[in-house]
């Protein structure tokens, strides 16, 4: 992985990656308010992963490091 683009509502943040990890920050929330209080807040993050060969994996699902 060379980098990641995180989309959080109207905010977009980019970060470089190293050893499959990245750190990114944006000045906004990660969850949208959900009028249906029973289901709780709705995550509004979308991830695009940029591989070293330039390939972009759109809407990738992140996983925790092991």
Contact 50, 4 (CB under 8 A): yes
Query: Quick one: pLDDT at residue 65?
Result: 66
Query: Quick one: pLDDT at residue 54?
Result: 95
Query: Quick one: pLDDT at residue 27?
Result: 85
Query: Quick one: pLDDT at residue 53?
Result: 96
Quote the DSSP letter at residue 62.
P
Query: Quick one: pLDDT at residue 32?
Result: 81
Quote the DSSP letter at residue 28.
S
Among the listed residues 52, 40, 66, 50, the one whose alpha carbon sits nearest the alpha carbon of residue 4: 50
pLDDT in tens, the chain (66 residues): 899 999 988 899 999 988 878 888 888 888 887 767 677 777 888 999 999 999 999 999 877 767
Could you give the angle at the alpha carbon of 61 between the alpha carbons of 54 and 51, nearest 5°?
Answer: 15
Contact 48, 58 (CB under 8 A): yes
């Amino acid at each position: 992985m060379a980098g990641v683009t995180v989309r959080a509502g109207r905010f977009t943040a980019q970060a470089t990656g190293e050893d499959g990890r990245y750190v990114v920050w944006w000045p906004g929330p990660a969850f949208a308010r959900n009028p249906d209080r029973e289901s709780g807040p709705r995550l509004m993050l979308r991830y695009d992963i940029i591989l070293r060969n330039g390939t972009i994996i759109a809407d990738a699902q992140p996983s925790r490091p092991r």
